[in-house]
A and B are shown apart, each in its own frame.
Chain A
Amino acid sequence: MLHFIIILALAAAFAAIPAFFPWLAFVFTLVLAKGFAALGVAILLRAGLISIGHALFYAVGAYTVGFLSSRAGVNLLIPQLVAAAVVSGLFGLVIGLFMVRYRGIFFAMLNLAVSMVGYTLLSKLYTLTGGTDGLSIATPRVLGMTVGREAFEAILLYGGLGLAFVVGIVVHRYLKSPMGEALPAVESNEIRLEYLGIAVPRVLLFAYVGSAVLAGIGGAIHALIVGHITPDLAYWTTSGQLVLVAVLGGIGGVAGPFIGATFLESVRAAAVIYAPDAWNIIIGAGLLVVIFFLPRGLHGLIERITRKGERP
């Protein structure tokens, strides 16, 4: 209960801060975008699988919105979001069928390889994706209403926060379900899981598709708030950020990746001013510090408060 109250308080603070500092609204919407995608990465991390290519699904979500907006002329917010989720889910299904056969390094590196192929294709297929120029995304209409840019950004922030809450609860239920509980079991002992009659590939494929959908939603929000997308979204540095956000936030609970994203995007907002060339160094050093000194991430700090004495 205390745990839920802390999360609720954090969410309330998250909603309130942009009201006082309007320039933070943009940053916080990006936080939600990265948070969704990192939640997807975190689901796979629970099974001990590191995807250093999840930026691909982030980009697929973003490019679905971009394609609908600038090529197909569908300027409606809800259909764009739904399409992004569905398309990235389909990509996740096709790629996942291949990926669930692999563990450890192979899983990580194959994801990286596939995302590099995706990045190359996004850069080369000029007619479809606009090449390295990218695509521009017009402000879509919301539920049949034409809204101004400012109102749209507010809708995106608070609508996104609401969506994060709903998705967070769904993912939480999933992680507590037999399918979700099987994930840590895959990491600790896959063969025993099979002896219990659980189809491990199916468990992992479900998780993989789910994580792709989450990354796609994140990418769609990213595309909508920034208004312009480039193939860089699929580049491995984006994947690296998503992994860091997941690890930094901690994979213990669904709020973790969002906390991690808030922290990282705030650091980035400062880094752009003070150290624009050292962004990857900051991410890398951050990863090292978290891995060596804070293995359960920032979410682990909440766990420490709420479960005092429960666990050694």
Chain B
Amino acid sequence: MDFLLPMLVDGLAASALIFFIAVGLTLVFSVLRVLNVAHGSFYAVGAYVAVTIGGVVMSAGAPQWLSFPILFLSAALTAALLGPVIERTFIRFTYGKPEAVQILVTFALFLIFEDLQKLVFGVQAYYQDAAVNVLGISDIGGIIYLNYQLLLIALAAAVVVALRVMLHHTRLGKMIVAVVADPEVSATLGIDTRRVYMAAFTIGVFLAALGGALASPNSGVAPGLGAEAIVLGFAVAAIGGLGQIEGAALAAVIVGIARVLAIYYVPQLEPVAPYLVMLAVLLVRPYGLFGAATQRKI
């Protein structure tokens, strides 16, 4: 059982990355009422941008520790460039439309992004692991951990707290909560719902891009990242209950543990472990662990 703790750290670090996608997906869904299938693409784009900027800066001979702020910077850059534009040009036309239309539109965006990545960045894999190296390793009880992985877990926890504080104690957060509760009444109270939608979407993009950027030093970037990201992200968001931030966090932990157990007992099942958890949870609770059943309209 000596393996279990290091494996758990490994599993939770991987889950932390998925959590960044899931939490953005959940946030965007609860505000815009649109499940963005293209959300995984932002994860992939974030990773590509981080690797590209990191590569340029590092090869210019900048100090190694700079690689770290670059990860955050590239996520912010991705969000600022893509978030408002995508929301204004495509997503807003699907508000209030049937879910079928929303899925088709965002799925179309996803397909387009997938090829754009290949056209812009090519099909080769990129690596830029300065951020992992600069943090080094720590030796706890004779077992060696990558500090970077511990940091990922801490960052995910920090995001949960930050989102909570943001939603309940800032002006923008309170406006978002109001719009989630009732967009029409919020609008009559003078809240610019269009801006709230744009802000929420951009925050979602930022979180996904941050996940991608943080993933890149450890695992590199290659085509096909977006598809896996959206499906895993959705699995985690659905297990937790769509629209539930803490639910997504708990679900990410569960999925991380499930993966570790799968590696430990049935290694062949590791890639499908998150889906098996999702299927099991949804069989018992169709709206996820924390999700509330929506009323059906007559």
Contact = CB atoms under 8 A, between A and B. Distances in A.
B29 to A, nearest CB: 8
Contacts of B99: 48, 50, 103-105, 108
Contacts of B114: 237, 280
B282 A284 contact: no
Interface stretch (B44-52, B256-264, B268-276): B268-276
A291 B108 contact: yes
B279 A98 contact: yes
B283 A98 contact: yes
8 contacts: A49-B100, A109-B231, A113-B278, A240-B107, A283-B111, A284-B109, A287-B104, A288-B90
Nearest to A53: B231
A191 B296 contact: yes
B235 interface: yes
Contacts of A196: none
A273 interface: no
Contact of B104 (A50, A104, A281, A285): A50
B286 to A, nearest CB: 6
Nearest to A247: B104
A269 to B, nearest CB: 18
A105 B108 contact: no
Interface stretch (A116-124, A127-135, A164-172): A116-124
Interface residues of B, number: 41
B95 interface: no
A112 B111 contact: no
B99 to A, nearest CB: 4
Given A117-B272, A120-B271, A281 B115 contact: yes
B101 A291 contact: yes
A114 B105 CA distance: 21
B130 interface: no
Contact of B238 (A50, A52, A106): A106
Contacts of B110: 284
Nearest to B116: A281
A101 B286 contact: yes
B298 interface: yes
A192 interface: yes
